[in-house]
Chain A
Amino acid sequence: MFFLPSAQAIDLTKLHFVKLSPESNISALDCTEDNGADPLGLQEFILKEALTYQAERIGVTYLVLHEKTIVVFLTVSMNCLSLEELQQQEMIPEIKVRHPALLLGRLVVDKRFRNLGIGTYLCQWVIGLARYLSELVGSRYVALHTLPDRSGFYKGELLNFTESSQPRPDKKKLLYRKITSDS
């Protein structure tokens, strides 16, 4: 069996992925904070907006199940990073266009399944998805926006995201992770 270091209760290799559909039963999914608040509107999004995003091709949402319980939802879409958003060392000689990226728009673990290593595992899945897709459609990064106090999770050695120094109009930080390899 395959476990990440912090995982205790769930065999991550047995997670099951399904695309959100009108038939998906998401009523039991709880994306709120420990105190029941929904400051980022994540519960609102999955219950009321995700299907519209998907129908309009703004974002595709996947539900991740453990046995028959939905433990995570995540939403991905195409995106790009401007050269100003990237560190100087990311610049490619002679290429001055924006760099394509897969946007991890949302990744939310049900509150009953947090701190089990699922979020890290699913970020790795998204990076793997981006690498797979980049063989079909040009893409060089995985990008995401998150609150400053949560950026450390993505910047750690397991995920290796870099924080952009480019200021944003909201309170969130832009993080990106290059997905190319030379092998």
Chain B
Amino acid sequence: MLPEAIEPLKGKAATEFIEYDRRQLTEAEKDSLKKADAVYARHKVAP
């Protein structure tokens, strides 16, 4: 969720951005991202 002070994209600009981003991801990429999240969650590091 965006902080309240930042105005979210609206209208055509928001639609174009979301459609663009979704078009770029294949199922294999989505699956790969889930695995990456799981691996990092298992081995989180702190400063």
What is the interface of chain A, defined by CB distance below 8 A to chain B? 13, 15-17, 19, 62, 89-90, 92-94, 121, 124-125, 127-129, 131-132, 157-160, 178-183
Contacts and interface: CB of A to CB of B under 8 A. Distances in A.
A181 B25 contact: yes
Contact of A183 (B16, B20, B30, B41): B30
Contact of B36 (A15, A19, A93, A131): A131
Contacts of A17: 43, 45
B36 A128 contact: yes
Chain B interface main SS type: helix
A183 B37 CA distance: 13
Contacts of A178: 24-25, 29
Given A16-B43, A132-B44, A179-B33, 15 more contacts: A17-B43, A19-B45, A93-B16, A125-B36, A125-B39, A125-B43, A131-B33, A131-B36, A131-B40, A157-B28, A158-B32, A179-B36, A180-B25, A181-B30, A181-B33
Chain B: interface size category:
20 to 34
Chain A interface main SS type: mixed
Contacts of A15: 43
A93 B17 contact: yes
Contacts of A89: 24
Interface of B: 13, 16-18, 20-22, 24-25, 28-30, 32-33, 35-45, 47
Contacts, number: 66
A128 B45 CA distance: 11
A153 B2 CA distance: 36
B33 to A, nearest CB: 5
B40 A129 contact: yes
Contacts of A183: 30
A160 B36 contact: no
13 contacts: A16-B43, A94-B13, A124-B36, A124-B40, A125-B36, A127-B40, A128-B38, A128-B40, A129-B40, A158-B32, A160-B32, A181-B30, A182-B18
B20 A92 contact: yes
Contacts of B45: 17, 19, 62, 129
